[in-house]
Amino acid sequence: MKKITRKIAQTELQVLFYSPIAWFILIIFTFQAAMSFTDGFASFVQRQEMNYFNGNLTMFLLGGRNGLFTSMQSYLYLYIPLLTMGLMSRELSSGSIKLLYSSPVTNAQIILGKYLSMMVYGLVLIAILFVFVIWANFTVMDFDFKLALSGLLGLYLLICAYAAIGLFMSSLTAYQVVAAIGTLSVLALLNFINRFGQEYDFVRELTFWLSIGGRADESINGLICSEDVLYFIIVSALFLSLSVLRLKSLRQKSRWQVSSVRYVGVLVLALMSGYFSSRPSLMAFYDATKTKQRTLTKNSQDIIKHAKGGLTMTTYVNALESNATSGLPRNRKWDMDRFKQYVRFKPDMKVKYVYYYTNTGDPEFAKRYPGLTDEQIVGKISKASNIDSTMFMPPEEINKIIDLQPEGYRMVRLLERETGQKTFLRMFDDMQRYPGETEISAALKRLVMDLPVIGFVTGHGERDFNNTGDRGYFRFSQDKPFRYSLINQGFDGKEIRLDEEIPALISILVIADMRNPLTPDEQAQLNAYIARGGNLVILGETRRQEVMNPFVAQFGVQFLPGQLVKRDSVFSADFIQSHITEAGSQLSYIYENMLRQERVVTMPGVVGLDYTTDKGYTVIPLCVSDATDSWNELETTNFIDDTVRVNSVIGEVVKPYPTALALTREVAGKQQKIIITGDADCLSNGEISMQRAKVPAANFNLIMGSFFWMSDNEAPIDVRRPIPGDNKLFATGHDVKVSKWLLMGVFPLLLLASYLFIWIRRRGR
C-alpha cells in the first residue's frame, strides 16, 4: 500500500511541478513573504539607528500582529485552493478515474497519494519561509530559534488542513473552478462558524472547536497546544475520510441515503474527538519561547499550586451595566480565553455565568431609554442583541443569591474555593478593562494565603482612606474600579484608632498628615506596634512640623522648618518634582524602573527631611528634590503673589533635600521597614489623578514600589519576566537594501529560472 501511495504522490508532484500554476504560486508566495519580512526588518533597523529600543525581535519579526508568519497565514487560503482544485476534478473530467477504478488501487491509496503530494508541496512552502528564518537568525542577536520552529509547525499543519479540505471539494465535482470556489466557501464557513449557536453551551463548544480562524496563532507566537495540533490532525483526517467515502460512493454507485449516513458518522466521530481534545484536563502545552513568554510567571504558578481542591469562578453580568456585552453568551469563549493560562494550570476550575438586571444609576441608560422601566430597557437590549430577556433575573432574585451592591452592580467575578474562601475579581475603568495577570494572581492569592493588611490611623485629622475628595486616599487604597488600587493588588485596608491595641494582623500602618498630637495612651499603643517590628508609612505636610517632629524623633528624623521651593517659570514655586535616588532604587524593581525612566514624584508643598543614624536605623534617602534652583524656603508663604529668593543669611541653601526616607532595622528576627515623606498630598486622590504637561509623574509607582518593598515583595504580585535577549540587529540601512534586493529580487528570480529550466528541458524531451 505504501509503495502505491508513494507512486501516486510522485506522479502527482510531477504533474504539479511541470505545470506553471505550482511555480507561479511559489514565486508569488516568495515575493509576498520577502516583502512582509523586509518591511518589518527595515522598520526595526530604522528604529535601532534612531536609538530606539528594540526588544523581542524574533516575536515581532515573525509573529505578533504584523510578523512574517502572521502575514503569510492570511494569504494561505488563497493559494491552497488553486493547488488542490485539480487533484480529483482533473481525474473526473478526463475520465482517467475509471482507469484507477479498474486497477488494483484502493480508494484510500488514491486519496492518500494525492494528499501526500500536497504535504510535500507544503514542505516546499515551509522551506521558503525557513530561508527567512535563517536570514533572521544571522541578523538578530540571540535569535529565538525554537519560537521560529513553533511558528513553522503551526503554518505547516494549517497548510495540511487546507489541502485536505481542498482535496475533498475536488472530489465532489469535475469542474476545477467549482472545486476552488467550493474550497474557499468551506474555509470561509470554518472561519465564521464560531459565531453560530453561542446561546447553547454544548453547541458553543463544538462550533468554537470547528473554527479554523486563528488556529495557528498560538503556535506562531511560540505556544504549542495539543488542542490545536489535534485539531489540524482531526480536521485533515475528517476531510480525507470524506474524500475516501466520496470515491467509494462513486465506485459502488451507493444510494445517497447510505452515503449520507456514512458522512454523518465520520463527522460525528470527528466532532466528539475534537470536543474531548479541547477539555482543559486533557490538554498539554509546550512554550517554545526562550523566556517562556506564553506561560504564567513562576509567582503566579506558585499561587495556583496552593489553590488545591475545587475552585469556581462565577461571573455576574448586569444587563444595565456598560461591561455586560463582554459576558453575554455569544462572547463567553472570548471572555474565558483571557483566563486560558490559568485554566492550563488549574484545569478543574468550574466556570459559571449568572445574568441579572438592576439599575446602577448610570445616567447613560436614562438618556438612551427615557421614560422606560428597567424591565423594559432589558427587553429592548435583549431584542437588539437577539437574546432571551428572561435569562436576566430581576433585582429581588439576585439579591437573594448575593449582595452585589458594594461592587456597584458592575460585571464582577466571584472566585470561591470549596473550603469557603471567597473574593472578587473586577473589571476596571481603563482602556484594558479586563484584569491582567497581576490582578488575577492577587485575587487567587487572597484565597490561599494571608495577604498584607494596611492600617490607616485616624482620629487626629489624618487623611481618610474612605474620603473621595481631592485630599482623601480613597483612590489608591480601595477604589474598586481602579486597577492600581491596593485592594485590587493584593492588600486589604482597615481603619485604626490608637485608643486600643493595634491588631496583630496589621503589617503596615499609615499615618498621613497628622494634625493633632497623640495622647500618652495612644503613643504607648503606637510604641508597642513599633517595638514588635511593625512597618510604618509616615507622611508629613507643611505646617505640621510641630505635631509630627516629636513622633518621628525616635527614628532620628526631623521635618525641617519652612518648605522646599524651586524657581520655575511654569509651575508654582512650592511644586516640587522629586527624583528617586540611586540607593533608593535598590530597594524595589519598581523604584529602579522609575530611576531608569527618569520618572518623578510630584509633591505640591513638601517639607524637607533631616536625619541621623544614631537611633539604630539604617537610613536611605529614597527621594530628593532638584539639585539646581531648589532650596528650603524659610520666609515666603504666599507663592502666588510673592517671588521666592534665596536668603543665605538665614540659612537658605540651594541643594537637593531628601523628600522621602526609607529606614530599616532588625527586630524580633525580621526587618522592620519605615518610609517617611515630607508630603502627604503626593498620594492623594487629586494628585495621583493629575496630569501636567511635560511632567513625567509616577506617583503611583512610588505607591506600588513602597508597599511592594514593605510587604517583603508579597504584593503587588511580581509578574516580571526575563527580558528577551533578541534586542539588537546586526544590520544597517545599507544591509536593508541588500536584503530587499536579494530576498525580493534574486530569490523569486531563482525560482522562475528553475521553472524555465524544467520547462525547456521537458519541451526538449
pLDDT at 55: 87
User: What band does 643 get if pLDDT is binned at 50, 70 and 90?
Assistant: confident
Helix (H, G, I), strand (E, B) or coil at 684: coil
Work out the percent of the chain whose per-residue pLDDT is above 90.
69
Please provide the average confidence, as pLDDT, over all residues in the chain.
91
Q: Would the pTM count as exceeding 0.75?
A: yes
- In 433-472, the DSSP E strands lie at 453-458
Q: What is the pLDDT of residue 449?
A: 86
Tell me the one-letter amino acid at 234: I
ω into 363 cis (within 30 of 0): no
| pLDDT score, position 398 | 95
Taking residues 742-749, report their average pLDDT. 93
DSSP string, 411-434: SEEEEEETTS-EEEEE--SSSS-S
Question: How large is the average pLDDT for residues 264-283?
Answer: 90
Q: Distance (Å, rounded) from C-alpha 293 to C-alpha 271? A: 31
Check pLDDT > 80 for residue 199: no
Radius of gyration over alpha carbons of the chain, in Å? 34
pLDDT greater than 70 at residue 765: no
- Segment 620-643 mean pLDDT: 89
Q: Sort residue 27 into left (φ over 0), alpha (ψ -120 to 50) or beta.
A: alpha
Domains of the chain: 2-290+730-764 (no CATH), 298-437 (no CATH), 450-710 (3.40.50)
Mean pLDDT within 338-351: 93
Task: Work out the pLDDT band at 450, boundaries 50, 70, 90.
Answer: confident
Q: Is the dihedral of CA 31, 32, 37, 38 positive or negative?
A: positive
pLDDT interval class at 86 (50, 70, 90): confident
DSSP secondary structure string, 299-338? Answer: HHHHHHHH--S-EEEEEEEETTSTTHHHHSGGGHHHHHHT
Higher pLDDT, 622 or 91: 622
Question: For residue 254, is pLDDT > 80?
Answer: no
pLDDT value of residue 387:
87
With 0-12 / 13-18 / 19 or more C-beta atoms within 10 angstroms meaning exposed / middle / buried, residue 680 is buried
Count the neighbouring beta carbons within 10 Å of the beta carbon of residue 620. Answer: 18
User: What digits encode the pLDDT tens for the residues 551-600?
Assistant: 999 999 999 999 999 988 789 999 999 999 999 999 999 999 999 999 99
Residues 379-431 have pLDDT tens digits of 998 888 888 889 999 999 999 999 999 999 999 999 999 998 999 999 999 99
User: In terms of Cα–Cα distance, which of 333, 338, 308 is closest to 437?
Assistant: 338
Question: Looking at the predicted structure, is the pLDDT value of residue 22 above 60?
Answer: yes
Classify residue 300 by burial, with Cβ atoms within 10 Å: 0-12, 13-18, 19+.
buried
DSSP conformational letter for 628? S
Which residues fall within 8 angstroms of residue 376, CB to CB, at 6 or more apart? Answer: 369
C-alpha span between 253 and 259 (Å, rounded): 10
Beta-strand ranges (E) seen in 501-593 are 506-512, 535-539, 557-559, 563-566, 575-580
Instruction: Name the band, by pLDDT with cuts 50, 70 and 90, for residue 247.
Output: confident
User: Dihedral (C-alpha) 692, 695, 696, 702: value to the nearest 10 degrees?
Assistant: -80
Under the banding of pLDDT at 50, 70 and 90, the label for residue 637 is confident
Q: Residue 346 pLDDT > 90, yes or no?
A: yes
Confidence of residue 228 (pLDDT cuts 50, 70, 90): very high
The Cα 309–Cα 686 span in angstroms is: 43
Q: Quick one: what percent of the chain has pLDDT higher than 70?
A: 99
| Per-residue pLDDT at 413 | 97
- pLDDT greater than 80 at residue 259: no
Q: How far apart are CA 166 and CA 144, in angstroms?
A: 34
Interatomic CA distance for residues 356 and 340, integer angstroms: 26
Residue 1 reports pLDDT greater than 60: no
Q: What is the pLDDT of residues 662-707, one digit of tens each?
A: 999 999 889 999 999 999 999 999 999 899 999 999 999 999 999 9
Q: What is the pLDDT of residue 388?
A: 86
Buried b (16+ CB within 10 A) or exposed e, 327-356: bbbbebbebeeebebbbbbbeebebebbbb
